[in-house]
Structure 1
Amino acid sequence: MDWMREVTESASRFMSADASRSTKRVVELQRVLATLCMAATTMMTMNASAQSNAPTQPPAAAPTPKTQKMPRYTVVLPTVYPGATIAFPPLPNFVQGTPRSAFEPGRVYVFECFSTTCGHCAEAAPILEALVHEFAPRGFEFIGVAADTCEVVAPWLALPENKKLYAHSIACDPDRAAQRVLQDGTFQNLSPRVFVLRDGIVLWYGHPEIAQKPFAAIAAGTWNPESIKSDFVANALAARAKNQITSVLTQCEKTGEWPRALALLDSVVREIPDRASTFQLQKFGLMIGPAAMPTEGYAFGKALALQHPSDLVVLRTLVRSTLSGPQVAQRDLDFAFALARAADVVGKGQDARAAELLALAYFSRGDRAQAIEHQTRAIALQTTAKLRVSYETQLEMYKTNEPKPVPYTPKIPVAGATDDATTHSR
């Protein structure tokens, strides 16, 4: 049975339906994806040797001693979120503007966290200055919080290009005292980032690029921080989980005890169900990659496809992990190809990333002509300049290189690595 054609046709019927997308059509697409999974399993069994990019299967992950306690994620709520009340951040060293140490009643304060050596901060500087120009006359007070010493910041501010972009107040925070009040309570340390407060209440925080809409609502008096609280808290919980996962993964790379990382990911899914697919996709990539569990991993991936038959992010991530994960020794090309076609259909042929992945799927299967055709389409669809350049580079590779799967790249142990726990800081 041509199950690849059937899954694509079923996805087409699903996406051409009206906006309600009836339960009947969802069930239909899930049924076809189930057929896909069964056929892919058969193909994988028959052609395992042909689809493997390594001469032998990597050694199985070392079993974790039964007496060793598995890591688990526990929910710790952030202290900084929209609607939370916090203290005025300690800023004793102002190099520009009027020093502040307390909130003036009713006044809106915007704290910008940045560094003089941060490239992203430099890119966002004109955006922030435009916000200053628009909202300072409307009662907003802007205070830049530099993660540098005054000896560094003062001459940096004196440069003509910086003097023009940083006309507002600037304070130095080399010991991170203010950062601890603002950033650490969100479980993320990001720059550039602005925090908006009034009377000690957090109204909003985020990148300057997306600040215009909340700033305007705050100025108009229509902003309600409680309306976005749940999303921001969920983001903070996910960020804390990612930090813990990174730390455990670092340990597993040294010890080979991958069941510990899998157990942690499972606990994160249980505790943060709203973000489950993000961590389930990470688990899939880990299972078919460094954990060397391809049979279990692809079964898990197929279950995810069944759960999210019309989710472009899930479908695309499953495909990319399968086709281009460097530590994937056994690539299930039929599974990836079918999902790549399904993602392209769900995207109605207008999703650049889906088209790019379909091109990679064809190239991995040895079909240069189809790879070139779909990569050319992906370039035409891609609106982000940097991604378009990378797509064009990939197209040239498809034209000149032998069409085959991405090579397997085994992990090379770091010389002198120990079993000591490594803490990941952001």
Structure 2
Amino acid sequence: MTHRKLIPTFIACALLIASIAHAELKVGDTAPQLHVQKWLNGQPVEKFEDGKVYVIECWATWCGPCVAAIPHVSELQTKYKDKGLVVIGLNVWEGNPPKVEQFVQKMGDKMNYVVAIDEGGREGQSAVAWLKAAGVQGIPTSFVVDQKGKIAWFGHPMEMEPVLEQVLAGDFDAVAHAKQQEQVEALGQQLNAAAQAGDWDKALKIVDELAKLSPMMATRMSVIRFHILLQEKHDYDAAYKHAGQLLEGSAKDEPAALNEMAWAILAADGVEKRDLPLAQKLAGRANELTEGKQPQVLDTLAKAHFEQGRVDEAIKLMTTAVNLADGDLKSQLEATLEEYKAAKK
């Protein structure tokens, strides 16, 4: 089977939030310079011009959630282009320009914004100046740069549109946002402490507080609630009820979140009761949203079918996934495909 490392999302989130409190680069600071080895897709951006709003979208070809977010980021570029938005897809933590160029070329119009390859390979200068300086430990991460060249916000690209609208309209309250971030950071530290102590009831309360405090984080916090219920408290009925509500509610149009929950149901260690039909529904919706073109999502959906004994359908889906993938992911999917074929014999 394909092996994906299931990161303990709730702990990762808490650590991320807590790390921001000690970061060098914060909201309100002047945006750092971009260090670019090569520009792809459109005109190079040599400097941030006054009056324009920029999104620096940090991504990599190997990052499934990054790839899953590309259609949404492209939609934002199209939707707000006439209001002065410039999106720059900053490829980081990769160090393989030919692979990136091939990926961008293959995406075509589905990646309709400027793309820049970080200078300096896997430990690139832009990654250090932006991600490391901001205390960010994972991607995808988007930075919103306002009309004065200041960092207005940074976080997951699927959560940035409300802030982006305010920044473009000139209505963004940076002071209020900074105060809110201080509260988020404090709660993040508490969440980290609760997770480290194994106090999952307290962790759930903090997750709910974070969701109320920051509506942009509400769906992410809801997914974390699911992980805690499923993988830590082993309250399967509550976990699956919650996932079903997310499927019908706030996560219904978020393929990355849906796929993440489906894979956890199918493959997370220590889960003794797996709701395979629910995993199939979650992955099926994610596949619908990504138009059947995301190999990671197809991998999840194939596994859901395979675990329910529908080997032929699993083989069909995995074959498509293999044809869409490249690099290490392709090799992993090919191995899984062979296992599915062997199971049919």
TM-score, structure 1 normalization:
0.43
Q: Distance in 2 between matches of 1:111 and 1:277?
A: 28
Aligned-partner residue type, residue 188 of structure 1: V
Tell me whether 1:100 sits opposite 2:48 in the alignment.
no
Matches within 5 A, 1:18-417: 77-91=22-36, 93-147=38-92, 148-159=95-106, 162-175=107-120, 176-198=124-146, 199-232=148-181, 272=186, 275-284=189-198, 317=228, 321=232, 351=242, 384-385=282-283
Tell whether the 8 Å contact from 1:91 to 1:100 is kept in structure 2 after alignment.
no
For the residue of structure 2 that corresponds to 1:186, the secondary structure is coil
Tell whether the 8 Å contact from 1:350 to 1:381 is kept in structure 2 after alignment.
no
Q: Distance in 2 between matches of 1:77 and 1:179?
A: 17
Tell whether the 8 Å contact from 2:20 to 2:134 is kept in structure 1 after alignment.
no
Aligned-partner residue type, residue 74 of structure 2: E
Tell whether the 8 Å contact from 2:54 to 2:88 is kept in structure 1 after alignment.
yes
TM-superposition CA deviations, 1:178-224 (whole Å, max 9, x none)? 11122112212332222110222111222222222222222222112
Stretches of structure 2 that go unaligned for 5 or more consecutive residues are 1-17, 210-221, 246-271, 286-299, 310-345
**Aligned-pair CA distance for 1:350:** 6.0
Aligned-partner residue type, residue 155 of structure 1: Q
**Aligned-pair CA distance for 1:283:** 1.4
Tell whether the 8 Å contact from 1:195 to 1:206 is kept in structure 2 after alignment.
yes
TM-superposition CA deviations, 1:85-140 (whole Å, max 9, x none)? 23322235323322223221121111111113322222111111111111112111
Aligned-partner residue type, residue 103 of structure 1: F
Change in 2 beyond 3 A, CA 1:200/1:384 = same
Provide the residue aligned with 2:296 in structure 1.
none
Q: Distance in 1 between matches of 2:187 and 2:77?
A: 39
Tell whether the 8 Å contact from 1:110 to 1:143 is kept in structure 2 after alignment.
yes
Q: Distance in 1 between matches of 2:225 and 2:110?
A: 41
For the residue of structure 1 that corresponds to 2:88, the secondary structure is strand
Q: Distance in 2 between matches of 1:189 and 1:144?
A: 18
Q: Distance in 2 between matches of 1:171 and 1:77?
A: 28
TM-superposition CA deviations, 1:284-308 (whole Å, max 9, x none)? 2xxxxxxxxxxxxxxx789x69x99
TM-superposition CA deviations, 1:261-314 (whole Å, max 9, x none)? xxxxxxxxxxx4664244223312xxxxxxxxxxxxxxx789x69x99x99989
Q: Which has the higher contact order (CA 8 A, sep 6+)?
A: 1
Q: Distance in 2 between matches of 1:130 and 1:180?
A: 28
Q: Distance in 1 between matches of 2:280 and 2:33?
A: 44
Q: Distance in 2 between matches of 1:179 and 1:274?
A: 23
Q: Distance in 2 between matches of 1:81 and 1:218?
A: 16
Change in 2 beyond 3 A, CA 1:151/1:215 = same
Q: Distance in 2 between matches of 1:314 and 1:86?
A: 33
Change in 2 beyond 3 A, CA 1:174/1:118 = farther
Tell whether the 8 Å contact from 1:194 to 1:207 is kept in structure 2 after alignment.
yes
Tell whether the 8 Å contact from 2:144 to 2:151 is kept in structure 1 after alignment.
yes
Change in 2 beyond 3 A, CA 1:88/1:200 = farther
Change in 2 beyond 3 A, CA 1:75/1:108 = closer
**Aligned-pair CA distance for 1:75:** 9.5
Tell whether the 8 Å contact from 1:96 to 1:168 is kept in structure 2 after alignment.
yes
Change in 2 beyond 3 A, CA 1:210/1:202 = same
TM-score, structure 2 normalization:
0.52
Change in 2 beyond 3 A, CA 1:150/1:230 = same
**Aligned-pair CA distance for 1:177:** 0.9
Structure number, greater radius of gyration: 1
Q: Distance in 2 between matches of 1:157 and 1:315?
A: 34
Q: Distance in 1 between matches of 2:193 and 2:111?
A: 40
Which deviates more from structure 2 when the two are superposed, residues 208-217 or residues 385-394? 385-394
Tell whether the 8 Å contact from 2:19 to 2:136 is kept in structure 1 after alignment.
no
Aligned-partner residue type, residue 321 of structure 1: E
Q: Distance in 1 between matches of 2:144 and 2:132?
A: 16
Q: Distance in 1 between matches of 2:151 and 2:67?
A: 25
Change in 2 beyond 3 A, CA 1:156/1:351 = closer
Tell whether the 8 Å contact from 1:157 to 1:166 is kept in structure 2 after alignment.
yes
For the residue of structure 2 that corresponds to 1:204, the secondary structure is strand
TM-superposition CA deviations, 1:313-367 (whole Å, max 9, x none)? 89994895365xxxxxxxxxxxxxxxx69x96xx9x964699xxxxxxxxxxxxx
